[in-house]
Each structure stands twice: as structure tokens, then as C-alpha cells.
Structure 1
Amino acid sequence: MNDRSTWDRRKLRVVGIGAALLVSLLARPAAADKTDDDALRAEELFKEARAAIDRNDYAAACPKFEESLALVRRAGTLFNLAQCEEHEGRLVTAMRYYKEGIVVLDPGDPRLAPSKKKLAEIEPRIPFLTIKPKTELPKDTRVTIDGKEAEGVGVALPVNPGKRTIAVLAPKHTEETYLVEVGEAEQVELLVSAGKVIVEPPRLTPADLLSIRQRRIAAVSLLGVGALGFVAAGITGGLVVSTYNDVEKNCGGGRCATKDAYEAAQSGQTLLVVNTVAWGVGIAGAGAGAVLYLLANKKQAEKTGPTQSLLVGPGFVGVRGSF
């Protein structure tokens, strides 16, 4: 029984090894195909870049050299890209590519000596920018040059000639931006400081929020009552006018010709009272609601600044903002 079990385990192990070898053999051609494709594409891009240089179109050539280099890293591509960057005035980038290309060359490579000579010619032309704070910068302050993180503050940093944008980004401060122009081989010093402190509005306490909310709810309720009063006043006013016309036709000299006319006259007097009351409710409700709302809004403005406003126009009263 033990011999059979051992034999089964050996068979499983052999099958597993065979499967692993099969997967490896199948994967190798795919990997090789990708490498070949990358090499072919890199060569195409290199030729396109060289053709662009022949047309004096360095703006198109540099990106193609970069794309070719990303696929296959070759010394020839590095040197061509370095020359392209130098032509476009990006001396720091050109210097880096020359150094990378020199490192990968064999000691006896004929390109080594001219590349070192070219590097020696570029290095003295590179300007340096020293960024110094006028006063101590807040903790976690970031300084960028042309949108990229500066490698240090208070040290001479190699930069490309031309106009450079320096930004000081301090927590809870406005961004402070500086524009400086540096020429070849210049040593430039720039004093910087953090921007203005951003003052955050004080936060409302729960008691403040409750008080303001209660006032606003009461104000809106009163405005609603006032609106209903105006609606009632409009309806009863229309009825009063209609009733008055009937009374004018059928009543005169203090007497009414018919019972219906008499009842209409009595109803008109009642409607007139209701109309007067409705107008009073409308005016009082709208006025009290507006005053209460403005008081609540004033209290919040004292804490955080205004966030709502009362809108009054022909035929409407409204509120704009958030509750």
C-alpha cells in the first residue's frame, strides 16, 4: 500500500514538472515576439526622428527619440536624444542623456571620446538657480520649478536656460508664484516666501445651528401664513366686488328689493371684514417672517458669512441659498 502511494506521488510530480515546462516553452515565443516587435518599432521611431532632424524639425524629433528609447535603450538613441535636447535649449536634460549613454558604452567604443567631449562642452553652459526662503517656511511646504518638485531649497540647482516658474505651496496658505529668467552659465538666487494665510471661517456650534434653523423654520412658516393671507385677501376681495355689484342693482335708499338682495348685502359686509382680516394676516405674516429670517441670516453671517438672501419682487417673496 505504501509503495503504491509513493508511486502515485512520483507520477503527479512528473506530470507537474512536464506541465511547467510546457507553459514555459509556450510563453517564450510570445515574449520573444514582443521583444522583436519593440525592437522593430524602436528602429522605425528612430528613423522617423532622424528624418525630422533632416527637416530641421527638432520639436517633432525629440518625442520620437524618447518613445524609441522607452522601447529599447540604446546608446545611439541616448546620444541623438541628447543632441536634440541641446538644440531645444534643454541643457540639463541633454547632460543627463549624454551621461547615461557614456555609461553603457564599452571602453573601446569610438563614440566614447566625442561624447565625453560634448558633455564637457555642455556642463559649463548650464545655469544654476538657488531658491532661498526670506523667512522660515511653514512645515510641509513644497517648492516646484516648472511644476516639478525642486530637489532642494537653499542649494544651487541646475536648470534649463530661459524663463522658469517657481511656486511655493504651503499648507493653509495661498500659492505664491515667481517668474525668473536665467541665461546660460548664470548663477541666480531667488528669495521666496509662503503666500498669505488662508483664514478659515469659525465653525458654528450645534447650539448655533439649532437656533438658526429654528428661526428659519419659524420665518418660513410665517411667510407661508402671510402668503395664505394674501391668497385669502385676493379671493374675498373678488367676492366683495361681485357682491357689491349685485347690491348696487337691487338695493337703494337703505332698502333691498328682494330677500336675496338683502342676504347678499349682509354677506358682502361679512366678506369685507374677512378681506380686511386676510390682508392684515398677509402683511403681518410676511413682515414678521422676513424680519425673523433676516435676523437668523444675520446671526449666521456674523459667524461664517452670508449663505442665503431674501428675494422680494412684484407678487412674490422668496429665499435664495441653503438651509
Structure 2
Amino acid sequence: MAIAAPANAQPDAVAVAESLFNRGLADMLAGRYATGCPALSESHRLDPRPGRLFTLAECEALWGRIATAVARYNDFLALYSRMSEAEKLQQRERYDVAVEQRDALAPLVPQLTLSLPRDAPQGTVVQRDGITLGEPSLGIALPVNPGEHVVTTRAPGGPEHEVRFTIDRSESKTIELEVKLPAEAPPPVKPQGPGAQAVVPPGARPAPPPPDAGPSGRRVVTYVAGGLAASALIFGSVTGWMAINESSLADDECDDVPGQPGVAACTAVGKAAGDRAKDLGLASTIGFGAGGVLAGAALLLFLTEPPPPRPQVGQVGALRWSLLATPTGGGVAVRGHW
């Protein structure tokens, strides 16, 4: 443990690392590996040194975590290969022990293969002992420590599925994991008799009502025809009132010619008023005629519009009627079934 600490190590971190190392070493020598090994690991993280790394590997081996111990021994050997000759001379004894321990423990490391089913949803998360495993870590044998392990899977939006198992030294085990999909709402219970209503299972939301599609094309034509009819009737009324006024003015400006029944002598104002009265009367007649036709058409369209389809339970019949129009006549067709 005579190798100097890195130059960038903070004095406080070095002091904490030294304290953790002493405590971890004491726990390891007393057989308290569950507390000693984590203390040694934290000591090496704060102030990495070859002696601390070697001691951590020894602690993991004594604890029975042989896969972790082999990895720590390999880390120490890789660090040893980068040392100077003087440093290698100081660490030579630890190097020999690390090689011997690694070669003895490597064949005893269990191998575990975890795989997902082919229909597993994209984005399924797999964790082993709280560590998330990426897709490259699935389907291949990976070294693990002997003992009990917990593997969980969770599909996006689905529940977590847990698997617990034990693996022994030198054992190779393959586990195909199970993935639980998100629960689907059960379908509503169908009605059984006339007038019955569908029952929504507890916890399921009832289907929202269908959006209002707005008036049908036939109803729009009815509205347009009704509006045009009202406009034509108003036009006929206004022009009729104007024709009456013009006719009154013509009567005032015209006098009967004596001895010539039916012949009147009119001033220029009266003659113009009479002409305007005739034109306005014709316009009023056309307006009333068009308004009446359009109003009748709108009323007929409204009365003959089929009702919108409505889902009914226990319906025993249907009645349908429509307007027929031909070049020579028309009528109403009615048909139904029971």
C-alpha cells in the first residue's frame, strides 16, 4: 500500500478514504463482509490505490461474491501492467496472489442468461438486482455471484413482474422472462331483453356519446327553401304595398273623359304612377307565387325527412316513407316491415 495517491485527490477525500479503509479492513478481518466490503469499495472510489483495490478483491472473494472478486482481481492486474518497474517490484507479491485467486475462482463463477419473449413490447425494462440491463445484455451468458437474485420486467404501462431464483457455483442457468401486458378493460355486458340497457363493468368508463354530426343535407335544403320562401313573401308584400300607393296616386291624377266610358285623362305624373303600379303589381304577384311554392317545398321536405337512426332494443318493425316525383305527376311511397 506504499503507492502514492493521485495528485488530484483532495486532502479531505484522502482522509475519509483512509478512515473507510481502516474500518473496512477491520470488518473484513472480523468476518463482517456485508459492511467491510462496501466500506473498502467507497474508500477506493474516493482515493484509488492498488493496495485498496487488491484488498477489496480479497474481501469480495471471502464474502462469496466470486464474480465480483474476479472482476476486481482483473482490475488490479490491468493496473499492475501499467505500473513502472519500481512500482511492480513493490506490488509483486499482490500480483502473484491476484493471478492465483483469479485463475482459481474464474471456473466457479455462475453464468446466467436472461431473455425476453419474442412478443415482448418495445421498451420493456429488465432489471437484475436493481440494475437495469440493456438489450445487448439479454440473450447472452453473463457472470453473476452465487446465491439468490431478483429479476423484474415491466412493459410500458404494464405491471411489474418479479422472478426470484438461486444459482450455485459453476452453474449455468437460462431463464426466459415473462412480461405482463397492460390490463384491458372488459367489454360491457350485452342487454338481454327489450328495454334492457347495457351494463358497464365496475372500474370501466362508459363510452362517450357519439359527436353531433349536425343537420343533414336534406335539412339544410329545407332551411334554405324556408328562408327563400320568407324572403319572397316579404318581397311580394312590400311590392304589393308600393303598387297600391302608386295606384292611389294615379287615381288622383286621372279624370274620366265625359261621354267616353272607361277612358280617363291622366297627367304625366298619373300616367307614370299607373305604369309603376302595373310593374310593382307584377313583381308582387311573382313574389307571392315564388314564396308560396318555396314554402310548400320546405314544408314537404320537412314532413318527408326520415328520422335519424337510433339504436333501439327489442325493435320489432320499421316504417319508411318518401316523396316520388316524375315529369307527369308525383306521390308518396310508404313501405315497412314487421
TM-score normalised by the chain length of structure 1: 0.50
Greater Rg over alpha carbons, structure? 2
